[in-house]
Structure 1
Amino acid sequence: MQPCSNLAFALSALAIAIKLAPAAMAATPPPLAIPAVAVKAGASALQVRWESGAREARFVITNPDSKPLPPAGWAIYFNSMAGIETGALDGGLALEQVGGALYRLRPGAGFPGVAPGQALTVAYRHTDVLNRISKAPTGPYLVFDDASATGLAIGDYQAGMPGAVPGAAPTPQAIYQRNALADDLPAGALPPIFPTPRSLAPHGGQLRVAAMPRVTAPSSLINEAALAHAIFRRHFSANAGGAAAANVANANANAASAASAASGPPLRLELRPIAGPSSPEAYELRVDPVAGIAIAGNTAAGVAMGLQSLRDLLPVEASAAFDLPALAVSDAPRFPHRGLLLDVSRNFQRKETVFRLLDQMARYKLNTLHFHLTDDEGWRIEIAGIPELTAIGARRGHESGPVATRLEPAYGSGSGVDDPHGGGYYTRADYIEILRYAAARHIDVIPEIEMPGHARAAVKAMEARHRRLEKSRPAEARRYLLSDADDRSVYKSPQLYTDHVMNPGLESTFTFIERVVAEVAALHKRAGVPLKTMHVGGDELPDGAWEKSPRAAALMKRRNIDSTAGLWDYFYDRVATILRKRGLGASGWEEMGARKVMAGGKAKLIPNPVFSRRGFQLYVWNNTEGAEDLAYRLANGGYDVVLAPVTNLYFDMAHNASAEEPGVDWNGPVELDRVYDFIPYDYLRNADIDPARKLGKEGLGDDGRRRIRGLEGTLFTETVRDPALIDYLTMPRMLALAERAWAADPAWATEPDGAKAKVLHRAAWSGFVNALGKRVLPRLDLEDGGVRYRIAPPGLMIEGGRVMANHQLPGLALRYTTDGSDPTMASALVSGPISEHGAIAVAAFDRNGRRGWVSRIDHP
């Protein structure tokens, strides 16, 4: 085994890189190639090292300066996603929680200081098991009491986990056995279109394509005509289609007519009713050796889906002439909602990053961006007339004093307000541009405004607004206030906040919500992209909220509300009314339509009858212990449901249990096969649940089945400080989501005989991973080489005196070395069993030479 290399992803705008200490690992992470940002002048000269065991951790603080770190008058601040035992420490120091996940280390009485050249070891404990590098402290900075408003970044910071929980990372042998559940298939046996279409009938013959096709389309399909040219542009010169546009968003009005100058086969695009499926995205695709290519759709969205299927038929490698197989495809999606959540609150992402993600979604026929715009750590959309929402709520950074002008640092954003992920928001023009970009790709954008919990950015911004106006315009100051100054409720959120909940006892809370809803709806109208529903949060309201608020108590008395559960119903009845006045549906997390009751001494969520026939659409993430069937119970109870189960579709979860894998793990890893194996209408069938616990669980009734609206992958971004990690965490898992959301249940999912189902599953899984490794991802490499999807570690096994190697995605090139060094593109190809001896290291490479995880095995 070899020491693991550096995990080179940036943890702050000040290039605070996490570097792993040497440890015996089964695999070495790939280079993520995320650029560091230069440390600014004025940063602290301190060197800080952090390392951990299972719960015990320590900082080693070295002072390389010529001046001592004094015995008093300073503090080191940092964020930690793992809870910390605060209080006095040995050596005269103390750890304190500042707020949320922001902590500080301070000297106390008897602390001697740190002399020049001296190193100080600070031991402490975490309340969480430290099994993943994402739990390491991030964003450390130094503050001196006599300059308390200034944070000095600690640029020389390293973190390692030599004492991480042993045995958690999958071994090369375990990976080999898992990979061996799929067969290596020849190219001719692979499904030609992805995701799997409803029906595909091969016809005799082929269509020769030796020049840009002659595209004809009505004016209503101008965007689709431009997409048709873009699909063929890699094979033929850009001007062969006349005025073909560079992309859908830039299609010019002459593209369809000018395309007649091309000399290739005809490509006809049309709108007409498609026999059978009623979906607006239904389409027919025909390739005929004589008549050419024809795509018809129920709507323009259907035509666009047909074009994406046509793209799959083109050769992976660019070619000046090729043959397309003659065939007929009739296709439509299984679910109307095929979505992806992007959280831009925890770590902000530029609009260009959003555009790029929308392009990938459109390519694989996803049609809904769930845009998580607000949360405790950031408000990311400009609202006219309420400047504090972005002036305060969209800025994070260190400050001192009682008057807040920003949110505190979170997720390693550090002390400076100029951190590009801690700070930032979309102007109204930005948001309109995103809406139009998405609409051109037939993707709906559902904005999420979190409430009543997860609302700290809004709560603190409106408190700042109140302070600004309370003397000059007291009535206006109270207009949008979200918090009761006399509230003494005691609660704590999972993110450790105690001051982040909107108060329903204030009429100003609903005035605020109404204003935000009106402004967001107006932006959609200006974009020409009408808003149909708004996601209004509802998750993780902590126990204890509102219980000691005088304003909430007064409301409860006036309305004869006997519990905070009744207060919840009152809150969302008001919110739904606000939405309904603007013609909008109400969407939210599962708690919005659930009620907590006690059953057998345990808390249980049941469908809330108050809203069950109000048309609420619930996004159900919780399928963990006790709530495995919650989504089905809610659907059977009258709610429309989008399935977003944490066990299968949370893409912020790490791929596996290796401590080095990016992502979180609060509900365990989500490997590619866990996404693929999800059965939307019967997910309890193959879930990892004790059979005894399946007893009494509820399945879908006929009405409940009709209420399953679709699937959604979820990317919360607590650990995502760079767009490269968006690629890494979503791809190729997004492809399994696309298959499961578009295509009908595969035969293995409905086969009652377990042995037969296993055989069917192997055949289907083999087709899926071979298609990804040999067609889908290579095409992505060559068409858009910037998508840095995860390349999994190879599996390795010694059999018969030779090293056997395989990969999750057959078709990716494997290369190896025998001296333990990381393979490169110059290393030998794995073409069969490896007979050489030594420290064998194997890695997979994409078509552009990018290396994935390195697996290692000793072969004496």
Structure 2
Amino acid sequence: MRMQIQYRSAVLALMLMSGGVAWSQAAAPSAPAGQGALVGVAAGARIKLRWELVRNVFSDSAPGGSTQARLILENLDTQPLPAQGWSLYANWMDGVSTGPLPGNLVLEQVAGNLFRIRPTAGFAGVAAGQTLNIDYVHPDLVIKLAKAPAGPYLVYDAAPDVGQAIADYQLLPVTRPEQLDKGNSGAKPVVTAQDTYRRNTSADLLPAAALPPVFPTPLSLQAGSGKLHLAAPPAIVAPKVLGNEAALARQLFAASLPDAGAQAGGPQLRLNIGTVPGQSSPEAYTLAIDGQGVAIVGNSAAGVGYGLQSLRDLLPLPGASKNGIDLPQLQITDAPRFGYRGFQLDVGRNFHTKQTVFKWLDLMARYKLNKFHFHLTEDEGWRLEIAGLPELTSIGAVRGHSAKPGVRLQPAYGSGPDPKDASGSGYYTRADYIDILRYATARHIEVIPEVEMPGHARAAVQAMEARYHRLKAAGNRDAAKYLLNDFDDKSEYKSPQLYNDHVINPGLESSYTFIDHVITQIVAMHREAGAPLHTIHVGGDELPRGAWEKSPASRALMRKQNLETTADLWDYFYDRVDGMLKKHGLYASGWEEMAARVTSLRGESKLIPNPLFTQRRFSAYVWNNTEGAEDLAYRLANAGYDIVLAPVTKMYMDMSYNPNPEEPGVNWGDYVELDTVYDFIPLDYMKTANPPLIGKDSLTDYGKRHVRGLEATLFTETIRDPLRIDYLVMPRLLAVAERAWAPDPAWAKEADAAKAAALHRTAWSGFVNVLGQRVLPRLDLEQTGVAYRIAPPGLMLENGRVLANHVLPGITLRYTSDGSLPSAGSKVVTGAIADKGVIQVAAFDRNGRAGLVARIENP
């Protein structure tokens, strides 16, 4: 018996769009005008390149393992790849072992995750039609294909500014035992179709009539006994201040009822701002449906908007009725558990358009999420136009090859040599950003812009250095006004992204001039848009050890301010930044490191709450719940910091679903399945830790008051196409929405393990059935364009028959046994499959889109 999960070709095509971090890389754009191939040597366009994971290797000195890999270069040109005078560039996201390679080649780091391979003395060249194997080593295990090189291109020494993209590049499958071997590393094994089947048995198929009617779960729902029949759209009665909500109401009924105008004297949909009894949240609402019509009252316009989203859930799925619709008579009183229900989108690593942002703002509103954390700046890209600092976007928002410094940023995450690459290069104009703010505000979503500092700032650092050199050459005395780096800094450090030149220097007054200018411009844009701005997220994460230690400017400031260590200098820096924000009536938000201080405990590094800022109203976004820091969020809250829970092992949407190599995403934090998110208990998440955590702090009653809410976080290192966002975020974002809006389910509060397990099964069954039978089908039938991940079915061979199930009970499964892949016309799985041979099964959405294919042999 053989079992494995493989991708259907349509899903493979989606993965190809990620720029080489999945199975293959889409063709890169052509080189800039005037940059053609050299005559007489092989061109990048006629080089075929394949990457192969050869085997995993384990030794006593490296029990965690390393990976032997190979680049297979085939010269399809009529000209040779010469013996000397060329370099093959690519991005290795997590780095690679540098140094001499077999065959007289050398692998070198250029900067960050950009590396190159070039020939040394004795290399023979690659004649036309010949193949070259380039063997090298990853110092750690390659489990996810995101670690493979991405965005390869060729540069000849004779034309150092010309980067020739290698479009014909693919990653070969990782399926052999020596490729999948994990040794004694402790890494999780590949997930089989049988594993998936067992996991899926934790839920039951429920009839549609038994499903909760509104998502996320409301605070209170009292069902009536009758129905409200609507033969035409109801007359909408709303005050002028609810114009946006009235427009949404009309839109809701457009898909279900012919727009022939409301019947005179017919049912009404009444929208009002009033008082929701017993609920103080401004987002609370009541929704009442009786025989006369529908009434929604909110404590604010936001509450009315959320009431309309609940009304959407009560409408039949599009196309379900041709003779009007029936709405259940009921009474809902609802309010969110947390005031902060967030989604973070990173557009720094890879850029995504304004239209993509609009799409996700619409989805956030639909599922009652209210905070859009906009990660606008990174080492690899500055994505917001700032008046007075054109280099931030002319240089800091552009990636591509250049032999000269200060022209543009280097390629990263597979963006390749072309500065026109749509994901490597791009930014939002001032007008774009104001459009986004207004779009979000109309949907009751607050945009929280993030400007990373002092680390993760390479784009800004390089842009301001280029500005300095330009103005200095022109004789401008203010050339250094916004300079961010000390040219005499000899500090030695390396960031997790392998940079050693990406940190804003706190010893330069020009650094604070720059930050103040950026803050002022962002405040002005929010004011012009009429959009709320209460905070700016000012980064703070992953400042590498050693930064600033050997900077004359920083050491001088430390002497002047009587600062003993660079940890004190950190405090000084954020004290200044906090003052700038307060000048505009804002408070400071940042990653957890901004609210923490590094110290030592028994010789090991430990983060403790920083006592300096506990009364500053800092808001800390806590991502680190990994080994040793599992209780950091609770310790910060107990110390008085307002926190947003964004734990990497639960809420990071860029984490891969499972360890299978071809499954997209990264795995440096953990693997995050749908039930991983669903099972998160925000105020007692260590309750479900396995194995149990000993000696960790729990939340005090005081600390609970400082938990603002939850955030789903998406970093985009592996996301070059917007469809990949859909795949990684949905449907996991729905579990985040449920946890952020609804109270703890009964199973989370039950002390008895057996009772808790039974309650969990009931609640989980309700959740996944609602997703599979109502929430996701509505997205399909409303043609929202959300290409959410359709998980592979689970398969089990039992008594000569194949059993199939799915994480979303009720979704349509189709199968084949003739060697072809399942399609929308294949046979539907209605029970055990008795066919013999290789059985291939896939789930399908309401539009006939197939998910991942599972395969099992029934001999």
Distance of 2:72 and 2:26 partners within structure 1: 26
Residue in structure 2 matched with residue 835 of structure 1 by the alignment: 834
Q: Partners in 2 of 1:463 and 1:527 — Cα distance?
A: 31
Instruction: State the SS of the aligned residue for 2:852.
Output: strand
Instruction: Specify which of 134, 152, 155 is matched with residue 140 of structure 1.
Output: 152
Deviation at 1:473, TM superposition (A): 4.1
Return the alpha-carbon distance in structure 2 between the equivalents of residues 137 and 395 of structure 1: 21
For residues 429 and 235 of structure 2, what CA distance do their matches in structure 1 show?
A: 40
CA distance in 1: counterparts of 2:141 and 2:299, whole angstroms: 53
- Correspondence for 1:28: none
Distance in 2 between the 1:262 and 1:67 partners? 79
Structure-2 residue corresponding to 1:248:
none
Once the 2 structures are TM-superposed, how far is the Cα of residue 263 of structure 1 from its aligned partner? 6.8
CA distance in 2, matches of 1:292, 1:576: 51
Query: Structure 2 counterpart of 1:209, which letter?
Result: L
Q: Which residue of 2 aligns with 1:812?
A: 811
- The match for 1:307 is 308
CA change 1:110–1:37 in 2 (3 A) is closer
Structure 2 spans left out of the alignment, 5+ residues: 38-43, 57-66, 182-187
Which stretch shifts more, 671-680 or 830-839? 830-839
- Measure the CA separation in 1 of the matches of 2:618 and 2:466: 33
Deviation of residue 512 (structure 1)? 0.3
Tell whether the 8 Å contact from 1:379 to 1:393 is kept in structure 2 after alignment: yes
8 Å Cα contact 2:822-2:841 kept in structure 1: yes
1:696 aligns with 2:664: no
User: Is the 2:29–2:165 Cα contact (8 Å) retained in structure 1?
Assistant: no
Per the alignment, residue 396 of structure 2 pairs with: 393
Tell me the distance in 2 between the aligned counterparts of 1:785 and 1:551.
53
Q: Determine the structure 1 residue equivalent to 2:184.
A: none
- Alpha-carbon distance in structure 1 between the residues aligned to 2:524 and 2:140: 44
For 2:512 and 2:21, the matched residues in 1 are separated by 43
1:325 to 320, 324, 328: 328
Residue 631 (structure 2) pairs with residue 629 (structure 1): yes
Match of 2:165 in 1: 153
Distance 1:345 1:596 in 2: 27
Secondary structure of the residue aligned to 2:851 is: strand
> Which residue of 2 is the match for residue 169 of structure 1?
190
Are 1:523 and 2:538 counterparts?
no
Shift of 1:137: 0.8
Contact 1:16-1:155 at 8 Å conserved across structures: no
Q: Which amino acid aligns with 1:484?
A: D
Give 1:794 deviation, angstroms: 0.3
SS at match of 2:518: helix
Q: Of residues 337, 340, 348 in structure 1, which corresponds to 2:343?
A: 340
Q: 1:261 to 1:391 in 2, by over 3 A?
A: farther
Report the secondary structure of 1:8's partner residue: helix
SS at match of 2:804: strand
Deviation at 1:635, TM superposition (A): 0.2
Give 2:216's aligned amino acid: P
Quick one: distance in 1 between partners of 2:355 and 2:318? 27
Q: Which residue is 1:297 aligned to?
A: 298
Q: Map 1:252-651 onto structure 2 (within 5 A).
A: 264-289=266-291, 291-318=292-319, 319-320=321-322, 321-401=324-404, 403-651=405-653
Q: Secondary structure at the match of 1:306?
A: helix
Residues 762 and 36 of structure 1, relative CA distance in 2, 3 Å threshold: farther
Contact 2:23 2:173 in 1 (8 A): no
What secondary structure sits across from 1:610 in the alignment? helix
1 CA distance for matches of 2:344 and 2:644? 12
| Mapped pair 1:45 → 2:46 | yes
Work out whether residues 620 and 641 of structure 2, in 8 Å CA contact, stay in contact via their aligned partners in 1: yes
Matched, 1:207 2:228: yes
Whether the 8 Å contact between 2:384 and 2:429 is mirrored in structure 1 is yes
Is 1:187 aligned with 2:211? no
Residue 843 of structure 2: aligned partner: 844
Is the CA contact (8 Å cut-off) linking 2:839 and 2:857 kept in structure 1?
A: yes
**Contact (CA 8 Å) 1:287, 1:328: kept in 2 or not?**
yes
SS of residue paired to 1:147: coil
1:780-819 pair list within 5 angstroms = 780-819=779-818
Q: Structure 2: how far apart are the matches of 1:635 and 1:601?
A: 25
Distance in 1 between residues matched to 2:467 and 2:676, nearest whole Å: 46
Q: 1:807 to 1:5 in 2, by over 3 A?
A: closer
**TM-score for the superposition, normalised by structure 2:** 0.94
Tell me if the contact between 1:39 and 1:155 (Cα under 8 Å) persists in the aligned partners: no
Identity rate of aligned residues, in percent?
60
Deviations 1:10-61 (A, max 9, x none): 6679x769547xxxxxxxxxxxxx9866767855311111101331001111
- Aligned amino acid, residue 575 of structure 2: D
Which residue pairs with 1:229 in the alignment? 250
Superposed displacement of residue 785, structure 1: 4.4
Query: Structure 1, residues 415-452: CA drift from partner, whole Å, max 9, x if none?
Result: 01000110000000000000000000000000000000
- CA offsets, 1:533-581, max 9 Å, x none? 0000000000000000000000000010000100000000000000000
Query: Partner residue of 2:89?
Result: 77
**Superposed CA RMSD:** 1.6
* Aligned mates of 1:533, 1:128 — CA distance in 2: 39
Matches within 5 A, 1:655-674: 655-674=657-676
C-alpha distance in structure 1 between counterparts of 2:384 and 2:205, whole Å: 48
Please report how far the alpha carbon of residue 169 of structure 1 lies from its aligned counterpart in structure 2 after TM superposition.
2.3
Question: What's the CA shift for 1:128?
Answer: 2.3
Q: Are the counterparts in 1 of residues 484 and 510 from structure 2 also a CA contact under 8 Å? A: yes
The CA deviation at 1:203 is 1.4
Report deviation, 1:480. Answer: 0.4
Q: Secondary structure at the match of 2:251?
A: helix
CA offset digits 1:755-776 (Å, max 9, x no partner): 1100000000000000000011
Q: Show CA shifts across 1:178-197 (max 9, x none).
A: 00000111111100000000
Query: How many angstroms apart in 1 are the aligned matches of 2:75 and 2:198?
Result: 49
Distance in 2 of aligned mates of 1:92 and 1:466 = 41
Which residue is 1:252 aligned to?
none
Amino acid at match of 2:584: R
- Whether the 8 Å CA contact 2:296–2:307 is kept in 1: the answer is yes
Residue identity in the other structure for 2:204: D
How far off its partner does 1:718 sit?
A: 0.3
**Does 2:724 align with 1:725?**
yes
Once the two structures are superposed, residues 109-162 of structure 1 have per-residue CA deviations (whole angstroms, 9 ceiling, x without a partner) of 111111111111111101121111211111000000000000011111111243
> Which amino acid in structure 2 is aligned with residue 227 of structure 1?
L
Do the aligned partners of residues 820 and 199 (structure 1) sit closer, same or farther apart at CA in structure 2, a change above 3 Å counting? Answer: same
Gaps of 5+ in 1: 21-33, 242-259
Change (3 A) 1:481 1:37: closer
Cα deviation 1:203-243 (Å, max 9, x = unaligned): 121111111111000000010000001000001234x34xx
One-letter amino acid matched to 1:165: L
Deviation at 1:530, TM superposition (A): 3.0
AA in 2 matched with 1:760: L
Retained in 2: the 8 A contact 1:773–1:811? yes
Shifted more, 515-524 versus 120-129: the winner is 120-129
The answer to whether the 8 Å contact 1:12/1:419 transfers is no
Contact 1:12 1:139 survives alignment (8 Å): no
Q: Tell me the secondary structure at the aligned position of residue 441 of structure 2.
A: helix
Q: For 1:290-334, what per-residue CA distance to the aligned partner results, in whole angstroms no more than 9, with x for missing partners?
A: x21000000000000000000000111332412111100000000
- Please state how far the C-alpha of 1:261 moved relative to its aligned partner: 6.5
* Distance in 1 (alpha carbons) for counterparts of 2:473 and 2:553: 22
Q: Give CA-to-partner distance per residue, 1:367-426, whole Å, 9 cap, x none.
A: 01000000100000000000000011000000003x321000000000010001100000
TM-score by length of structure 1 reads 0.94
TM alignment of 1:679-694, pairs within 5 A: 679-688=681-690, 690-691=691-692, 694=693
User: Could you tell me how far apart the structure 1 residues matched to 2:407 and 2:443 are?
Assistant: 39
Question: Take 2:16 and 2:492, find their aligned partners in 1: how far apart are those partners?
Answer: 32
Question: 1:687 Cα shift?
Answer: 2.2
